[in-house]
Amino acid sequence: MDFNKPVFLLMLIVLVPVITVLYIGFRRGLNDLKILGGVHRYESIRNVYTVKSFLSGLLFILFVVSAIFALADIRWGERIIQEKKKGYEIVILIDDSRSMLVRDISPSRLKKSISVAKDVIREIKDGIFGLVLFKGDAEESMPVTDDTVSLTAILNAVQPDWITSPGTDIEKGLKKAYQVFSGTSDSNKVILLFSDGENQNGDPVRYAKYLGKIGIPVICLGAGTQTGGVIKLSNGETVKDRKGMEVLSRLHKKILENIAEVSGGSYIEMYRTNNILQRIVREFTRIKKGKYGSGFRVVKRERYGLLLLFSVIFLSLSGLIWKVRWKNTL
């Protein structure tokens, strides 16, 4: 049992003067009975008067308590309600290719992307998230969910080359991200793409244009720098080309800018942008929230109507007590 408006419980203090007035009225009533009924009749009706006064006073006190509890919106018992949640559906799309191992941004392109993605999950409270990793192919790592604890755990476990397919195909990543979204038509969907923009296959700009037409913006987070860096593997070796020269990977910002532009999203370069999280959140503020699915919530049952009914009954009975004639008495 709890109260939705507990401040009204302070009104219970009125019970003190109410009880005082009832007691004073009872004492005066006894004196009046002695004067009107005389000594002989007084003894025969005193007990009945006392019982009626007690019952009437008790019912009046119950009336006051019930009315105050109704004002305080008393609740007990539980019921399950279905509700539409309002916010965003966000699919986090992370490039898992080997070029994301480059450390031209600290600690590396991939680790920086994961760190920013986790910050977004913590900051945006009114959203549900999915996760897709891509390379030459794309895989759904987490369906759209409000289970941010599990999603964060998966992000913490992401390793380079989880996807073994060669090359990088941003278009496949965008397509898989679109498939991960729920089928709710009135939700506002957003893709958050973390990539260095290197792309060997597909036409991601063309597909991004399609996403823009159906109202799904792509916010692109550019991972890397124009200067670039070598790709150092976990064993300490660097990736080399066929001539034995170290491969230098640079940020390809133009393709990411084009994806963002044609989809109605925005491009944010993580290396150059201060307060990346604030910039991302600012981009979301210009996107209208939608309803992204039904949820269930357990709530306390409202009982103020029942308490109002009780208060009316108690007040009525308090007055009726005096109308009932007891045999051989008043």
Contact 201, 136 (CB under 8 A): yes
pLDDT digits (tens, 9 = 90+) for 54-72: 888 899 999 999 999 988 8
Angle CA(304)–CA(13)–CA(74) in degrees, nearest 5? Answer: 15
pLDDT digits (tens, 9 = 90+) for 306-330: 889 989 999 898 888 887 776 555 4
Which element (helix H / strand E) includes 260?
helix 253-263
Domain 82-288, second-level architecture: 3-Layer(aba) Sandwich (3.40)
C-alpha span between 255 and 143 (Å, rounded): 27
Confidence band of 90 (pLDDT split at 50, 70, 90) = very high
Residue 110, pLDDT > 90, answer: yes
**Residue 117 burial (10 A CB sphere; 0-12, 13-18, 19+):** buried
pLDDT digits (tens, 9 = 90+) for 194-227: 999 999 898 999 999 999 999 999 999 999 998 9
- For the ranges 67-76, 78-87, 172-181, the one whose mean pLDDT is highest: 172-181
Of 40-49, 64-73, 90-99, where does mean pLDDT reach its minimum? 40-49
Taken as a whole, the chain contains a residue count of 330
C-alpha span between 266 and 218 (Å, rounded): 7
Domain chopping of the chain, boundaries: 2-72+301-320, 82-288
Give residue 287's identity as a one-letter amino acid code: I
Between 151 and 274, the higher pLDDT residue = 151
Q: With pLDDT > 90 as the criterion, what percentage of the chain qualifies? A: 42
E strands, 62-125, in order:
74-95
